[in-house]
Amino acid sequence: MEFPSYVGSMRGRSFLNTNDFTRDEIEEVLRASRDLRERFRHRMPTPYLSGKTLFMLFYNRSLRTRNSFEAGMFQLGGHAHFLSPQDVYTPTLPEDMIPYQTESIADVARVLSRYGDAIAIRIYGDAAKWHIGRGHRVIQEFAKWSSIPVLNMEDDLYHPFQALADIMTITDVALNPSGKKFVVSYAYSGGLKPLAVPQSCILIGTMFGMDVVLAQPKGFELEDQVIRACRENVDRYGGSFTIVNDMRTAFEGADFVYPKAWSPKVFFPPHNGRVDKEGAVEYQNRFKDWICNQELMDLTNRGKYMHCGPADRGQEVTDDVIDNPRYSLYFEQAENRLHVQKAVMSMVLG
Amino acid sequence: MEFPSYVGSMRGRSFLNTNDFTRDEIEEVLRASRDLRERFRHRMPTPYLSGKTLFMLFYNRSLRTRNSFEAGMFQLGGHAHFLSPQDVYTPTLPEDMIPYQTESIADVARVLSRYGDAIAIRIYGDAAKWHIGRGHRVIQEFAKWSSIPVLNMEDDLYHPFQALADIMTITDVALNPSGKKFVVSYAYSGGLKPLAVPQSCILIGTMFGMDVVLAQPKGFELEDQVIRACRENVDRYGGSFTIVNDMRTAFEGADFVYPKAWSPKVFFPPHNGRVDKEGAVEYQNRFKDWICNQELMDLTNRGKYMHCGPADRGQEVTDDVIDNPRYSLYFEQAENRLHVQKAVMSMVLG
Amino acid sequence: MEFPSYVGSMRGRSFLNTNDFTRDEIEEVLRASRDLRERFRHRMPTPYLSGKTLFMLFYNRSLRTRNSFEAGMFQLGGHAHFLSPQDVYTPTLPEDMIPYQTESIADVARVLSRYGDAIAIRIYGDAAKWHIGRGHRVIQEFAKWSSIPVLNMEDDLYHPFQALADIMTITDVALNPSGKKFVVSYAYSGGLKPLAVPQSCILIGTMFGMDVVLAQPKGFELEDQVIRACRENVDRYGGSFTIVNDMRTAFEGADFVYPKAWSPKVFFPPHNGRVDKEGAVEYQNRFKDWICNQELMDLTNRGKYMHCGPADRGQEVTDDVIDNPRYSLYFEQAENRLHVQKAVMSMVLG
């Protein structure tokens, strides 16, 4: 069987953040994703990773990520291990080691590198002690010690496979995304949520030359280095990047809206001296009016509604929006997770 | 490779209750099961579901069901995901949603439908809040929203794959089950148990024209709609259906006996205003003499002992009965679970 | 495809303790292991267990064992189920049964034997109630009732696959291990640890005619029957077996050192009337100077450092020893776990 040319085209590379790749490389991922989607819809065999093993380490729960990686690996002829930290000896950064309960990431990464072909990790929130960036450091530590590719299944800074699925979904609707208005907006939730999705969204939007608008209440600023990277993307790839503090202004004339909750970073280290969950919840509870509803959708340019899932219905979005197939790309985004992940795995492991 | 004609013969159908199918359809399942058993015993390859993915969602623990579905799927060339509700975001009925912990079944079913080929669910008892019928509603809700087949791995009303294994085991022993006396009897256990197994047993027995006798103490009545369905089966398929309140009478001349614990429904909603576990345990503790022993087996027509497993030894049955190969079909029933499940999966997913 | 001659060469045998096999048999395992290692390094297909299922039952957590068995089974064309006792109904010895929570090992073993091809178990410490030998009895009980091979993934007496990986690693370095000095030494850890690794180490060393030195403080004696078996190995296979109470003496001129913690058996049944964890910890805390460091390594004959992992860094060993590639075989041992397990599985299941 002849394999498509993308199989193995990025052999050995880790995937921690979309912005570590060029736009050309990301476009190759999307081409591979569409090819794999076609083959999946016709249930054609795609044994590009035959005999290959993926170790999936979930510090946080997951529906889409776990099932799309596990099914995707199998559809490519490989096999994925579902690992909970407590099933193994909780791979841990040097400063967090607890005798007899944890094992250093350095050791775990080197052992797994001897048995299989890639390591995928999800870690944010409580699992990363709400010290923003610590989850990402865990994944970087795995990448440092591993001799096989490391895949970021969402940490406390980035969710790169979600961003890939999102740009695939956008370019399914708008063949050329340049000049399309893409609104990434805060939306209310009572829960504590990481910055990963909005940060990866604005990074991928600016990489594709879109007119990206970030809408957020004061106090919900994203990380400085991400904002800087977005501005650099605009310089390199065109389009624009604007920050506004009002949902209505943002939604006017929008082609794509992505209303999604995150929690205000100023209540958490390193931006705060301590983890102040109560303070964060109390603060974000002032913004219950940041909900995506019919009235806001009416302001858009027949805009499409997007969300990574699971959406907090009645808080982030009303049912009539998320369940309206005229607006909602919710299930298309979820499906595309499968295809983009199979594409990247085929490219880095094939 | 030429596939047997049963592969794909019921493509796309869900399997929630044996009585949703005709006797002809169930007999086709049994023929497929026997064919697959032969192939398994000779370890012949059966790649009828090559590349197909089954999502297994276990709200309750399981030995037979989990291992027979997971191994069965693999033996057919497919792959099964083992999902605990807490690993994903606890798929939940609309009225039971808890923000940030649960996700609506409607959303979970539609997402998984994009990634793979079938969803199997086990839910009863505490997981269904001991509101009898709520577990079945969870599975119906999955079936409503899923675009791929849904399989009932035991809920609080039905255990259809157990019933298939049971009728396969019965027809292994008695080629023609018509006119054979099949006793489904209450047997004591101190634990709280759902109605699923006895209800599916009397449904399958009456579908196969057996003389089905349900033996139970007062207060252990099964659900009215199941009793009605059994009477309709008798009208349609012949045989008889009788309810008695005495184990000895029931066992006299029996060809097959199935002594199995369940808990009295009158202590639980919707038959009671509240969940009264203590009341149920106290009531069922009056019936410790409902135990299947040698003396009772002597009343039968060289009858066979059956149980879905795990049996509560010393409560439901004495060791000398369950461990006596002259009587006991215990391990044959367990084995046949594998074969009937592979048959149904081949038929609905192939 | 022609399979290598070792596939199926020990069909049907269980693997509970290396000393149940002859040296010739173990050497055949090592030849098969090296063949499989070569094929793995060149990513050649090895479908020797195509369609075969392994049931892995982990009463204790694991990184190396779980991932090497699961990946190994997949690399051989098979599939491994990851089972936690609480996911099934906690398979249990007759005397430990708890109604409605446990199921007898006799029943579990016979059911699983109908679905697949081998059962692997890990059980020691709390899971075996710290009654030394009870974990091994659990595995023996599985082997008694199972009609398919049973594999010991570490119990409270033996860790045979670790011993195979260790002797493979030793014979990678020293083609002929006869006459090489192999030191198995107590090393401090604050945690409670089973006797399995040191006992399997001295058994495999004496089987290969090495000059085995067991170094331990008073009170850390290993089980009498293991010591006797080591002396019988010396009679049969040559070499020597010595016990000393001093780490320095032991390390002098050593070719291989294996400093590893275990807990003093005299605080646990059957050697003590009750489980006295506090007494054990207090006693072992007197031996914090039993740590493998640079100074001790300097006494050896350019000796190699070995450990089964995970090592308690700063207690059992200093970082400069375990991380020094001149000394340390730590990751080679971990890797060889994969190859020896694939070899044994190919031989007993093929």
Both A197 and A164 in one domain: the answer is yes
Q: Which of A127, A157, A187 is the last residue of a domain?
A: A157
State residue C340's pLDDT score: 98
Give chain A's domain count: 2
Interface partners of chain C (CB pairs < 8 Å, 3 or more) are A, B
- Which of B40, B59, B61, B333 to mutate: most C Cβ within 10 Å? B61
Is residue C2 situated within a structural domain?
no
User: Is there a contact between C87 and B58 if contact means CB atoms under 8 Å apart?
Assistant: yes
State residue B61's pLDDT score: 86
Strand locations in chain A (E): 53-58, 79-83, 91-92, 103-104, 118-122, 150-152, 181-186, 211-215, 240-244, 256-260, 304-305
pLDDT tens digits for range C99-126: 888 899 999 999 999 999 999 999 999 9
User: Is there a contact between C45 and A53 if contact means CB atoms under 8 Å apart?
Assistant: no
Return the number of other C-beta atoms located less than 10 Å from residue B43's C-beta.
Answer: 12
Both C148 and C204 in one domain: the answer is no
Both B302 and B345 in one domain: the answer is no
DSSP summary character for residue C308: -
C200-213 mean pLDDT: 98
Both C290 and C169 in one domain: the answer is yes
b/e string for B4-24 if b means 16 or more Cβ within 10 A? bebbbbbeebbbbbbbebeee
Beta bridge pairs of residue A242: A213
Is residue B22 situated within a structural domain?
yes
Mean pLDDT of chain A: 97
Distance from CA of C343 to the nearest CA of B (A): 21
Q: Which of A133, A157, A181 is the last residue of a domain?
A: A157
Domain of residue B288, residue span? 160-333
Report CA torsion sign: A204, A210, A211, A215: negative
Both C185 and C322 in one domain: the answer is yes
Q: Which residue of B has its CA nearest to C82?
A: B82
Is residue A224 situated within a structural domain?
yes
User: Is there a contact between A100 and C315 if contact means CB atoms under 8 Å apart?
Assistant: no
State residue A86's pLDDT score: 82
State residue C86's pLDDT score: 82
With H, G, I as helix, E, B as strand and everything else as coil, classify residue B290.
Answer: coil
| pLDDT level of residue A54 (50, 70, 90 thresholds) | very high
| pLDDT level of residue C98 (50, 70, 90 thresholds) | confident
pLDDT in tens, chain B (350 residues): 799 999 999 999 999 999 999 999 999 999 999 999 999 999 999 999 999 999 999 999 899 999 999 999 999 999 999 999 888 888 999 888 887 888 999 999 999 999 999 999 999 999 999 999 999 999 999 999 999 999 999 999 999 999 999 999 999 999 999 999 999 999 999 999 999 999 999 999 999 999 999 999 999 999 999 999 999 999 999 999 999 999 999 999 999 999 999 999 999 999 999 999 999 999 999 999 999 999 999 999 999 999 999 999 999 999 999 999 999 999 999 999 999 999 999 999 99
User: Is there a contact between B66 and C88 if contact means CB atoms under 8 Å apart?
Assistant: yes
The answer to whether A43 and B54 have CB atoms below 8 angstroms apart is no
User: Is there a contact between A103 and C334 if contact means CB atoms under 8 Å apart?
Assistant: no
Which residues are CB-neighbours of C337 under 8 A, at least 6 positions away?
C64, C65, C68, C161, C162, C165
- Which of C54, C100, C101, C117 to mutate: most B Cβ within 10 Å? C100
pLDDT tens digits for range A90-104: 899 988 888 788 899
The answer to whether C49 and C74 have CB atoms below 8 angstroms apart is no
d(CA C22, CA C288): 38
Which of chain C's residues have a Cβ under 8 Å away from the Cβ of A88? 61-63, 66-67
User: Is there a contact between B61 and C111 if contact means CB atoms under 8 Å apart?
Assistant: no
State residue A17's pLDDT score: 98
Both B321 and B178 in one domain: the answer is yes
Does this model's pTM top 0.90? My answer is yes
State residue C99's pLDDT score: 80
DSSP summary character for residue B15: B
Is pLDDT at A153 greater than 90 in this prediction?
Answer: yes
Q: How many helices (H) and strands (E) does chain A have?
A: 12, 11
Which of chain C's residues have a Cβ under 8 Å away from the Cβ of A89? 61, 63, 310
Both A82 and A132 in one domain: the answer is yes
Kindly tell me the burial class for residue B258, based on how many C-beta atoms sit within 10 Å of its own C-beta (0-12, 13-18, 19 or more): buried
Q: Which residue of C has its CA nearest to A98?
A: C312
Name the residue facing C63 among A82, A100, A103 (closest C-beta): A103
Give whole-number Cα distances, A89 to A104, A105, C55, in Å: 9, 10, 21
Question: What residues in chain C have their Cβ under 8 A from chain B's Cβ atoms?
Answer: 50-51, 53, 55, 79, 81-83, 86-89, 99-100, 103-104, 107-108, 110-112, 114-116
Distance from CA of B197 to the nearest CA of C (A): 16
Distance from CA of A225 to the nearest CA of B (A): 29
Is residue C53 situated within a structural domain?
yes
Both B49 and B141 in one domain: the answer is yes
Name the residue facing B70 among C81, C89, C108 (closest C-beta): C81
Is residue C223 situated within a structural domain?
yes
Both C147 and C187 in one domain: the answer is no
Is residue B5 situated within a structural domain?
no
Q: Which residue of B has its CA nearest to A64?
A: B111
Q: Which residue of C has its CA nearest to B311?
A: C103
Q: Which residue of C has its CA nearest to A51?
A: C75
Is residue A177 situated within a structural domain?
yes
Interface partners of chain B (CB pairs < 8 Å, 3 or more) are A, C
State residue B99's pLDDT score: 79
User: Is there a contact between A67 and B103 if contact means CB atoms under 8 Å apart?
Assistant: no
Distance from CA of A174 to the nearest CA of C (A): 41
d(CA A161, CA C48): 35
State residue B205's pLDDT score: 98
Q: Which residue of C has its CA nearest to B315?
A: C99
pLDDT tens digits for range C249-303: 999 999 999 999 999 999 999 999 999 999 999 999 999 999 999 999 999 999 9
d(CA B228, CA B194): 19
Rg of chain B's alpha carbons, rounded to an integer? 20
Both A165 and A251 in one domain: the answer is yes
- Which of A66, A111, A119, A147 to mutate: most C Cβ within 10 Å? A111
The answer to whether A204 and A164 have CB atoms below 8 angstroms apart is yes
Closest to A263 in 3D by CA, of A225, A299, A231, A220: A220
b/e string for B76-91 if b means 16 or more Cβ within 10 A? bebbbbbbbbebbbbb
Q: Which residue of C has its CA nearest to A50?
A: C45
Both C173 and C299 in one domain: the answer is yes
b/e string for B139-174 if b means 16 or more Cβ within 10 A? bbbbbebbebbbbbbbbbbbbbbbbbbbbbbbbeeb
ipTM of the complex: 0.96
Distance from CA of B63 to the nearest CA of C (A): 5
b/e string for A208-234 if b means 16 or more Cβ within 10 A? bbbbbbbbbbebbbbbeebbebbeebb
Residues in chain C: 350
DSSP summary character for residue B199: H
C167: CATH: 3.40.50.1370
Distance from CA of A238 to the nearest CA of B (A): 34
Is pLDDT at A85 greater than 90 in this prediction?
Answer: no
Q: Which of A116, A133, A157 is the last residue of a domain?
A: A157
Both A263 and A283 in one domain: the answer is yes
Is residue B74 situated within a structural domain?
yes
State residue B229's pLDDT score: 98
Is pLDDT at C95 greater than 90 in this prediction?
Answer: no
